[in-house]
Chains A and B, each alone.
Chain A
Amino acid sequence: MALERVGRLYDGGRVAALRDVTLAIVPGEFVAVTGPSGSGKSTLLHVLCGLDRPTTGRVWFRGAEPASAEEWTRIRARHVGFVFQAFHLFPTLTALENVEIPMFGVVAGARARRRRAEDLLTRVGLAGRLEHRPAELSGGERQRVAIARSLANAPLLVGADEPTGNLDSKAAAVVLDLLEEVHRQDGTTLVLATHNRDVAARAGRVIELADGGLVSDRCGS
């Protein structure tokens, strides 16, 4: 993935969330994006994962520059998984069904989708919570369902926006371990936005932003 002189303006150009950011991410990297609130971490993550389009500059994914909204939709479906700070699970669906949601249009057959969702939930330690709805799960469990959902279509890239922001320290540790394990075992590129320096320290590379601009780009611990 690469960003070339990317800028993202909001409110008719009055607010610059990103300014002239250029960077490249190598497949299989674990990158932490840090910076204070309002520094542009989430915006950078959204642009990297194809959830948002830059106002200026170019975005490259797997060596190509997706031109249309349809292309980005296809990329999000097949190659990108995303974990939100607030989980954003569907309240009327069970954990199993939440994980199945991204598979529509990618994995054919209800049985195949169910089997894969079961495997993923087992992997994140929720084999006993398959039929529970989000309201019946703890915060940590909900985030683990969200991680399983992000892995539904075996993505090349997983973006996580403050994935531990709404969790207590114990649940946060479990979630981070899980994300790291996915990165290590599957070779998935992991880009994680956080303002927590301890969390960022677990990454192989740390990108620091301030006021939408790139301040530093260095190797992690």
Chain B
Amino acid sequence: MRFVSIPARNLSRRPMRSVLTALGVAFAVAGFVVLTGFSRGMEHAWTTSLLERDVHLTAVPRGTVQILAASIDERLAARVAAVDGVRDASGELADMVMLPSGRPVLVVGWPARSFLWRTLRLSRGRLPAPAQTDAAVLGEGLAGALRLEPGGTLALLGAPFTVSAVFRPSGVINNNMLILPLATLQRLLNRAGQVTVLDVRLARPGDVPEIRAVQARLAAAFPDLEFTETRFVADSNDVLRLIRAMAWGISLIALTIGLLTVLNTLLMSVTERTREFGVLSAVGWSPSRVLAMVVLEGLALSLAGSAAGIALGIGGLRWLAASPMLRGLVEPQVGPGLFLQVCAVTLLLGVIGSLYPAGRAVRVEPVEALRYE
């Protein structure tokens, strides 16, 4: 018999209790996976949606929390484009709009001659002519969901539109996005002359000192705007930061409950087995060996729970990502980093949850345990 099989035998003594404890850990870990994967997914989706449009810097009014509510004068785009080191700049108006079917969709408006149009990889149809005001371009995901092809029509905010093209993006947000001419969207949203964000392309996007220098020039020229490198957009966005903080906060509560579950089960188990710990001490087991046995029991419970929790969490994330409210906004992120975090959390759960019960087990004197024989 190997030492590691002893904790397994101890846990098998009350299988239902062990299974329920592992389930408690599983739900805690699943909560962690879902919430963390969800917040990471949102950050990843936003960052990808900007990067694949070849946008190097984005500008929003300083102090903006809710990007979709931000307002910038569209004429600023031309002034930003004139700054040394900037290759191009474009305004972009964005909002969440409900389709007649009840499906929420991200709608953006781009100026007729914006560089953004040229970043689209069209799979079907052609880009709308600059003068065409009722044209819509759809991401493949949205086009598939609405069963629309170029030439098809859809109603949006009470106005009819003709699909002129379908494009194939890699990010989930762009995949479910609908693009309209800027002037048309401004009219439909009653936001004439306004955009929500300025998208900036740099002349030398790979030159980090040059990026810093351009950012400094832009900040000096436009003190009311905040220019952020696209790859750091997720870090600097208050909403995403809030979601991340909430995800961590709720995960922490869930994991604390998981930890208490392990602790409670092991404490009960240790109390029930007081006499056995006395026998182990009587036959010469050292305190460290007894401690190792109880800690291994805690680790076995948390590892089993984590394995189930990861599976549950991934399932939960997929379900969330496919739900009507979030479809197209989140791309679940469950990479190696998250698994490493889960492993670390699992080890912590098992060890911390078992240390106190193990300490109790170690303190059992052989005679104290056998006195009531």
Seen from chain A, the residues whose Cβ lies within 8 Å of a Cβ on chain B are 46, 51-52, 70, 73-78, 80, 82, 84-86, 88, 90-93, 96-97, 100-102, 104-106, 110, 113-114, 149, 152-153, 161
B1, A113: Cβ atoms under 8 Å? yes
Q: Is B12 engaged at the interface, CB distance under 8 Å to the other chain? A: yes
Please tell me the number of chain B residues within 8 Å of chain A, measured between CB atoms: 25
Instruction: Pick the 5 closest A-B CB pairs, nearest first.
Output: A77-B284, A102-B283, A76-B284, A52-B367, A92-B9
Minimal Cβ-Cβ distance residue in B for A114: B1
B367, A76: Cβ atoms under 8 Å? no
Chain A residues with CB under 8 Å of B282's CB are: 51, 76, 82
Chain B residues with CB under 8 Å of A106's CB are: 284
**Which one of A93, A105, A149 lies within 8 Å of B289 (CB-CB)?**
A105
**Which one of B1, B10, B12, B365 lies within 8 Å of A100 (CB-CB)?**
B1
A105, B370: Cβ atoms under 8 Å? no
Contacting residues of chain B (261-316) with chain A, CB-CB under 8 angstroms: 275-276, 279-287, 289
Chain A residues with CB under 8 Å of B373's CB are: 84-86, 161
**Which one of A90, A104, A153 lies within 8 Å of B276 (CB-CB)?**
A90
A51, B366: Cβ atoms under 8 Å? yes
B1, A105: Cβ atoms under 8 Å? no
Contacting residues of chain B (1-16) with chain A, CB-CB under 8 angstroms: 1-3, 6, 9-10, 12-13
Minimal Cβ-Cβ distance residue in A for B366: A51
**Which one of B2, B13, B283 lies within 8 Å of A76 (CB-CB)?**
B283
* A–B pairs, 16, beta carbons within 8 Å: A52-B366, A76-B283, A77-B284, A85-B373, A88-B276, A88-B279, A90-B276, A91-B13, A92-B12, A96-B1, A97-B1, A97-B9, A102-B283, A105-B286, A110-B1, A152-B283
B285, A82: Cβ atoms under 8 Å? no
**With A76-B282, A77-B283, A114-B1 as given contacts, are A104 and B275 in contact (CB-CB < 8 Å)?**
no
B279, A105: Cβ atoms under 8 Å? no
**With A52-B366, A100-B1 as given contacts, are A70 and B280 in contact (CB-CB < 8 Å)?**
no
A136 to chain B, nearest CB (A): 15
Q: How far is the CA of A86 from the CA of B346 in the complex (A)?
A: 39
Minimal Cβ-Cβ distance residue in B for A76: B284
B286, A73: Cβ atoms under 8 Å? yes
A47 to chain B, nearest CB (A): 9
B359 to chain A, nearest CB (A): 15
Chain A residues with CB under 8 Å of B13's CB are: 91-92
Chain A residues with CB under 8 Å of B284's CB are: 73-78, 80, 102, 105-106, 153
Q: How far is the CA of A8 from the CA of B34 in the complex (A)?
A: 59
Minimal Cβ-Cβ distance residue in B for A52: B367
Minimal Cβ-Cβ distance residue in B for A74: B284
A114 to chain B, nearest CB (A): 7
Q: How far is the CA of A76 from the CA of B287 in the complex (A)?
A: 13
Give the most central of B2, B275, B287, B370: most A CB within 10 Å: B370
Chain B residues with CB under 8 Å of A73's CB are: 281, 284-287
A144 to chain B, nearest CB (A): 17
Q: What does the 1/0 interface line of B168-191 toward A look like (CB < 8 Å)?
A: 000000000000000000000000
Chain B residues with CB under 8 Å of A76's CB are: 281-284, 366
Chain B residues with CB under 8 Å of A152's CB are: 283
Q: How far is the CA of A102 from the CA of B1 in the complex (A)?
A: 12
A62 to chain B, nearest CB (A): 15
Chain B residues with CB under 8 Å of A46's CB are: 366-367
Chain B residues with CB under 8 Å of A153's CB are: 284
Q: How far is the CA of A110 from the CA of B1 in the complex (A)?
A: 5
Chain A residues with CB under 8 Å of B9's CB are: 90, 92-93, 97
Q: How far is the CA of A73 from the CA of B365 in the complex (A)?
A: 11
Q: How far is the CA of A220 from the CA of B13 in the complex (A)?
A: 45
**Which one of B279, B285, B366 lies within 8 Å of A104 (CB-CB)?**
B285
Chain A residues with CB under 8 Å of B276's CB are: 88, 90
Q: How far is the CA of A110 from the CA of B284 in the complex (A)?
A: 18
Give the most central of B3, B6, B276, B284: most A CB within 10 Å: B284
Q: How far is the CA of A101 from the CA of B275 in the complex (A)?
A: 15
Chain B residues with CB under 8 Å of A93's CB are: 1, 6, 9
